[in-house]
Structure formats: structure tokens, C-alpha cells
Amino acid sequence: MLKAAFLKVLFFIKFDIFFARLVFISEQVKAQRYRVRFGNNFNYVNQGPGGFEISGPAENFSIGKGSHIKSATFIECSGGVSIGDYFHTGRGLTIFSTTHNWKSGEKLPYDNVSIKEPVVIGDYVWCGANVTILPGTCLGDGVVIAAGSVVRGIIPERAVVAGNPASVISYRDKGQYDTLINKRCFF
């Protein structure tokens, strides 16, 4: 009974709307703090709940001009994460740059050793929504990653990848790609 009355009061004062606005403002303040920390290249696009988090030492993270991240993004940069120019992503991007030592003969499922493997993302890369990029991944310039993909390894420039694990399904047209680069047609 008390719970129902409390919920009615919150509904009446539009607490949910007020709280959502506070969260939005908080995310914008955090984005500004990240711009100061990582440089003016850091752009955050709010696409609903989830915010964003960059975890690890600031000196292990870099992002190029014209690049952005969206809501529900988590980037773990202890092993190093470098994002090139004009990188775009859908919401729900996850990047890991460390992993566990599961090969250890000491403990199961893994020991206490953290293995750092840098992630390098080239220029003009586009990740769809809910993409996971694993430690040690290197994405060449112009790569497109389909929504929901899990990516590991070296992906050649202009490749279009999809799946779990992600594999190359196509390539961008080289002539068209080069023409757009030369004309500086960037979104």
C-alpha cells in the first residue's frame, strides 16, 4: 500500500522525466570531462539509456578527429586503444584491450595475470550496433563491421565483416573509396 502511494507521488511529480534529464545532463558533463582528458576529438552522441565509460589510464586511449561514440559504449583501454579519424559506431560498442591467462596451469578458469593486447582502429571505420572488439584487434582503414559482430585479429582495409566470430563477407569498392577520400567527403 505504501509502495503504491509512493509510486503515485513519483508519477505525479514526473520523477522519471526529471531523472532522465538529470542523467542526460550528467552524460554531457562527462563527455566534456572526456574532451578535456582526451582532447577535443571526443564526441558523444546520446542514443538512449546506457551512457558510456572509458576505463583505464588516459594515456592508453586516443581518438581521432571527427570520430564519435554513442550510448551504451564501454571501452577498456588498459592495454591501449587507438581510434582513428572519422570513426563512427552504433550504440552498444564494447572494446577490450586486456584478457585473462586461461592457459595457466595454476588456476581455473584462469589465473590472476592480465594480458594486455592493444586495439588499433583505422580511419573511416564504421561499427554497427552492439559490436564487440576483442584484445589485439587491428581494424584497417575503411572497415565496416555489421551489427552484433564479435571481432578479433587483423581485419584488412575496406573489409566488410559480420558474425561471431566476424569474418570478411565483402569489400568496399576501392575506386569509390579512394575518390571519397580524395574529395574529403566525410560524415
Q: Which residues are catalytic?
A: 100
Pairing of strands 159-163, 166-171: antiparallel
Q: Could you tell me if 76 and 57 are in contact, meaning their C-beta atoms sit under 8 angstroms apart?
A: no
User: How many of the other CB atoms lie within 10 Å of CB of 78?
Assistant: 17
* Torsion angle of the four alpha carbons 130, 135, 138, 144, in this order, in degrees rounded to the nearest 10: -10
User: How many of the other CB atoms lie within 10 Å of CB of 98?
Assistant: 17
Q: Could you tell me if 123 and 161 are in contact, meaning their C-beta atoms sit under 8 angstroms apart?
A: no
- Side by side, which strands form the sheet with 52-55? 52-55, 73-76, 94-96, 132-133, 150-151
